[in-house]
Amino acid sequence: MRIPDNSNIVIFGASGDLSFRKLIPALYQLYVTKQLPDCFFILGVSRTNYSSESYREALSLALIEHSDVDEGTLLTFLEHVYYLAINTSDENDYAKLSLSLNDLYNHYNTPYNTLFYLATPPSLFTVIPECLSKSNLLDQGDGWKRIVIEKPLGYDLASAIALDKSLHHFFDESQIYRIDHYLGKETVQNLLVFRFANGMFEPLWDRKYVDYIEITGAEKLGVEARGRYYEGAGALRDMLQNHLLQVLAMVAMEPPAVINADSTRNEVVKVLQSLKPISEDDLKNNIVLGQYTESTVQGDNMVAYRQEPGVANDSRTETYVAMKLFINNWRWNGVPFYVRTGKRLPTRVTEVVIHFKQTPHPVFGQNAPANKLILRIQPDEGIMMQFGLKNPGSGFEAKEVTMDFRYQDLADEGEIDGRLLNAYERLLLDALNGDATLFARSDAVQACWKFVEPILAYQKGKHALHGYACGTWGPKEAEYLLQVDKRSWRFPCKNLANTQYCEL
Ligand code: BG6
């Protein structure tokens, strides 16, 4: 456990949902577990008219409501929290911020080490750095200054490049921390440890032994209250361009020489830059876009996407995408990666399935099961290996059996510290420690945009959009995508060992 040097956090958008639901609770947990430095302050900045006292009260209510807090510890934590109401897009208001920061730096006697977290709409990602710079807040004292931003990191390749250009005007790349919260998940990081700490899997991890790979990011919820945002995003921008491609990179990358920000991210970007560009044929044959329709699930009426608040009643935004893609490199040449994500599917599950090839000669018949390795990212985090064993009785029939490992069992047996860091705790801690390994680098973000650009262009036109009933695994066409290759998706259930089609 590495405790950051004395440092401070300035949160822009401090009155918003992200701050209340994720950031402050994560900082509180880090405080409780003694992972914050001895001297630190948190300054919330937003337009909303709070005083420091009323902001603390609002946070206190939210923390008590949403998490298990110790009221005494909460009080001491909140003593480190301050609030300043300014118009964050008005350069003149930054004089007030400068005064507040100076007071706090003096009061806490901290070095000027400061993390600026932009929990704001993306339109402010270019405005706030410029105002900070003009007010000399980026070169105050000799402490480090870092900036944290989170998706959407652009809307397409051109806007992502423009955003990077604007940020690089004020920050060096090493000062920019782009959050992809999937990289903060313990089980996504475990992909690296599982692959590179064990000698037995890596030799099989390539085109010679792997038949195909599935990556599923299924969600049970619909778009909830985010219809307005989602209309402009869709499943492609919301999940595939970022989270799922980052997971894919972890599965497919070469071993880094060392685990640090440069070495690891160099390997990540190589994979993303090797994604086979999408052709006209791929658009027709290898991509399925869908949208959920009204249906009844276990007696409950579920509204169609088009009936959700903030959504146009003739919307053509996809809430589901499935695709087959390839990686043009030595290791993966010719191995299909099938990736799917969607809302209103039967359950919430994120997993990677490595399907190994059949044995070269089928001594036990064509039906002997091929080996599968299932890496469950959430929920029921774990790893499951499926292989053939002899079916008891006469003859030599091979039957599929499962060996599984669940993190929860380790916790139950007291072998790991019961509580894992959640994604925001881990990422905030890393940003304070200056470790960018788990943050998306600009070239990786751009490689992802470059890869999805043809699909975005296709999506703008009169593309085929397939309806699927809520509570199903998406359009039938997504099944055909694998059927034509004589393969099929795994239909996972919440229970790791249950591979049957899962009804709600
Ligand atoms: C977010 C998307 O980035 O990730 C959401 O905007 C999605 O639409 C969420 O629901 C999924 O995250 P998780 O951690 O619940 O898998």
SS3 annotation, 31-45: HHCCCCCCCCCEEEE
How high is the pLDDT of residue 494?
53
Closest ligand 1 atom number to CA of residue 221: 10
Spatial distance between the Cα atoms of 441 and 214, rounded to a whole number of angstroms: 25
150 Cβ below 6 A of ligand 1:
no
The pairing of beta strand 42-46 with beta strand 8-12: parallel
Ligand 1 pocket, residue 282 CB under 6 Å: no
Ligand 1 atom with least separation from CA of 378: 16
Measured in angstroms, how far is the CA atom of residue 52 from the centroid of ligand 1? 31
Backbone torsions φ then ψ of 431, nearest 5 degrees: -65, -40
Sequence-separated (6 or more) residues with CB below 8 Å from residue 36 = 3, 4, 27, 30, 432
Distance 150 CA to ligand 1 centre (A): 12
- For every residue of 67-106, DSSP letters joined together read S---HHHHHHHHTTEEEEE--TT-GGGHHHHHHHHHHHHH
The residue ranges of the chain whose pLDDT is under 50 are 496, 498-504
CATH domain 8-150 topology: Rossmann fold (3.40.50)
Determine which residue's CA is closest to atom 9 belonging to ligand 1: 239
Q: Residue 5: is it exposed, middle or buried by C-beta count within 10 angstroms (0-12/13-18/19+)?
A: middle
- Taking the domains of the chain in order of start, what are their residue ranges? 8-150, 183-483
Structure pTM?
Answer: 0.93
Closest protein CA for atom 5 of ligand 1: 238
Q: Which residues contact 76 (CB under 8 A, 6 or more apart)?
A: none
- In short, whether 351's Cβ falls inside 6 Å of ligand 1 is no
- Please give the distance, rounded to the nearest whole angstrom, from the Cα atom of residue 448 to the centre of ligand 1: 17
The distance of Cα 30 from the centroid of its chain, to the nearest Å, equals 20
Cβ of 219 less than 6 Å from ligand 1:
yes
Bridge partners, 202 (sequence order)? none
C-alpha of residue 428 to centroid of ligand 1, in Å: 18
How many residues would you count in the chain? Answer: 504
Q: Whose CA is nearest to atom 14 of ligand 1?
A: 182
Please confirm, yes or no, whether 355 is among the known catalytic residues: no
Class in CATH terms, 183-483: alpha beta
Contact 15/47 with Cβ under 8 angstroms?
Answer: yes
Closest atom of ligand 1 to 243 CA is 3
Instruction: Check 66, 243, 463, 466 and give the catalytic one.
Output: 243
Give tens-digit pLDDT for 88-110: 999 999 999 999 999 999 998 88
From the alpha carbon of 185, which atom of ligand 1 is closest? Answer: 14
